[in-house]
Amino acid sequence: MRHLGHYISFGVNLVMFGFVCTFIAHQSKRRRNMPTHWLRYGPAYLAVVAALMIMADQTRHVLQDLGVWKSGPWPGSSQYVDDCDFKVASVPLFNCSSTADCGSFPCGHLGHVSVVNGSTCRSCDEGVGVCVESAESFSCLSAVGWACTGLTYAGFCVFFFASFWNANLVGKLRAIAAKWEALREGE
């Protein structure tokens, strides 16, 4: 089921970013009087770069789900390291003596299985005797996970900047400030 969610998310975002980037590129006509190519088309270029940055992690998920980019040794597609010490007990609790007791479907993570194909990955914490889930936290991110997470956050920042530039937000705020000052001078 998780794979289907990845595909839907990828498709919806691809279509959405396609429309938004096309809209911003079309808005470049409003900036015809700008002196340089960058000032005319900069928001469109930044929106495309931002879309690619934001889509990096979703692309990783889809490539991993399709088996194109396998989990494993460097540069594997796993977002989290397999041997992360930060674990969370599975709910409901499953008693185990080996990882095989925690499920029968291999997850792609070394030494992890799931109860149902595509569900949460678990392994056996033999010291405690219960199935545990690797916590999906910043402390367990792999190098690929850090790169994709960083690209996503940076991509949203670039996208906001491109959108604000396209909307001429600074110019509009200056116009509002000038009108406010004109109103205040008349008092």
Strand 87-89 with 122-125, pairing = unpaired
What are φ and ψ of residue 114, in 5° steps?
A: -130, 155
CB 40 within 8 A of CB 34: yes
Distance CA 45, CA 120 (A): 38
Cβ count near 162 (within 10 Å): 23
Residues 6+ apart with CB under 8 A from 172: none
Element (H, E) at 65: helix 37-65
CB 162 within 8 A of CB 46: yes
- Is the preceding omega at residue 35 within 30 degrees of 0, hence cis? no
**106: which strand partners?**
113
Candidate from 63-67, 79-83, 152-156, 172-176 with smallest mean pLDDT: 79-83
Residues 6+ apart with CB under 8 A from 14: 55
Tokens encoding 156 = 């949203």
Q: Is the pLDDT of residue 151 over 80?
A: yes
pLDDT tens column, 53-108: 999 999 999 998 888 888 776 777 787 776 676 666 665 677 778 777 777 777 76
Tokens encoding 104 = 């029968």
How deeply is 105 buried, as exposed, middle or buried, from its count of CB atoms within 10 A (0-12, 13-18, 19+)? middle
- Determine the longest span between alpha carbons in the chain, in angstroms: 82
pLDDT tens column, 98-143: 777 777 777 765 566 666 666 677 777 777 788 777 656 677 788 8
